[in-house]
Amino acid sequence: MPKSSILGFPQKVGIITINYDYLTIIRKDEIVRIEKIMQDTEQHGIKGKWVLATYKGNKGYIFSKDINIIDNIIIE
């Protein structure tokens, strides 16, 4: 299970982070545009592949392993 799940969010949501604050919970059927897949790096104490994404006009990062537990979001 991705480490972000320990924050208490249910499965099948994703988290976009900006400036070390959790900005938004992505719900299913919402549109997320993938901007860039980062190399393995550590952010927020979690090491792995982070994905730069745009969601509702805001840019932020999603932990790549979280994408696998989000079903029904639309990735542009």
Confidence at 7, pLDDT banded by 50, 70, 90: very low
Confidence at 20, pLDDT banded by 50, 70, 90: very low
- pLDDT at residue 17 above 60? no
Label residue 15 exposed, middle or buried (CB < 10 Å: 0-12, 13-18, 19+).
buried
For range 58-70, the mean pLDDT: 65
- Cα–Cα distance for residue pair 11/45, rounded to 1 Å: 20
Q: φ, ψ for residue 42 (rounded to 5)? A: -115, 125
Q: What is the DSSP letter of 48?
A: E
